[in-house]
Structure 1
Amino acid sequence: MLWYLGIAGASVIWWLAYGQLIAFSEWATTLLPVDRQSHTGEAIAFFFYDVPKVLLLLTGIVFVTGVLRSWFSPERTRALLAGRRRIFGYPMAAALGVLTPFCSCSSVPLFIGFVSAGIPLGVTFAFLIAGPMVGPVGLGLLYGLVGWKIATIYLVFGFTIATIAGWVLGKMRLERYLQQWVRDLNAGPAADIPTERIDFVDRLKIGVEQVREIVGKVWIWVVVGISIGALIHGYVPEALMLRVMGGEAWWSVPAAVIVGVPMYTNAAGVIPIVEALLGKGAALGTTLAFMMSVIALSLPEMIILKQVLTYRLIAVFIAVVSAGILATGFLFNLIL
Structure 2
Amino acid sequence: MTITSEMIEQTLSMFAFLAVELTLLFLAISYLVGVLQEYIPASKIQAILSAKKGKGYIIAGFLGAITPFCSCSTIPFLKGLLRAKAGFGTMMVFLFASPLLNPIIIGLFAVTFGIKVTVFYFVFAMGVSVLAGYLLEKLGFERYIKAEAYEAPKTCCGSSCGSRPKPINKWYRIWLSTWSDFKKVMPYLLLGIAVGSLIYGVIPTEFIASVASDNNPFAIPVAAVIGIPLYIRAEAVIPLSAALAAKGMGLGAVMALIIGSAGASLTEVILLKSIFKNKMIIAFLVVILGMAVGAGYLYQWLF
Q: Same fold (TM over 0.5)?
A: yes
SS at structure 1 position matched to 2:269:
helix
Identity %: 28
Render the CA deviation track for 1:240-289: whole Å, top value 9, x for unaligned. 11121111554222122122222111122222332233223333222101
Render the CA deviation track for 1:182-215: whole Å, top value 9, x for unaligned. 14449x9xxxxxxxxxxx9675465244224322
Greater CA drift, 166-175 or 260-269? 166-175
Contact 1:253 1:285 in 2 (8 A): yes
Unaligned runs of 5+ residues in structure 1 are: 1-33, 189-199
Aligned pair count? 288
Q: TM-score, normalised by structure 2?
A: 0.83
Contact 2:29 2:73 in 1 (8 A): no
Render the CA deviation track for 1:57-99: whole Å, top value 9, x for unaligned. 33233334335445667677546644517x3222222222222
Contact 1:264 1:294 in 2 (8 A): yes
Distance 1:257 1:44, change over 3 A: same
Distance in 2 of aligned mates of 1:248 and 1:141: 28
Contact 1:66 1:206 in 2 (8 A): no
Aligned pair 1:131/2:105, yes or no? no
Aligned pair 1:59/2:30, yes or no? no
Aligned pair 1:285/2:217, yes or no? no
Distance in 1 of aligned mates of 2:105 and 2:195: 22
Distance in 2 of aligned mates of 1:50 and 1:57: 10
* Higher share of residues assigned helix: 1
Letter paired with 2:240:
I
Give how far 1:294 is off. Answer: 1.1
Contact 2:105 2:235 in 1 (8 A): yes
Greater CA drift, 307-316 or 92-101? 92-101
Alignment of 1:1-336 (within 5 A): 38-69=6-37, 77-78=45-46, 81-82=49-50, 84=52, 87-185=54-152, 203-204=170-171, 207-247=174-214, 249-336=216-303
Distance in 2 of aligned mates of 1:57 and 1:88: 30
Q: Please tell me the root mean square deviation across aligned C-alpha atoms, in Å.
A: 2.8
SS at structure 1 position matched to 2:140:
coil
Render the CA deviation track for 1:102-151: whole Å, top value 9, x for unaligned. 32122222222222332223222222222222222222222222211111
Give how far 1:45 is off. Answer: 2.8
Distance 1:54 1:327, change over 3 A: same
Distance 1:120 1:210, change over 3 A: farther
Unaligned runs of 5+ residues in structure 2 are: 155-166
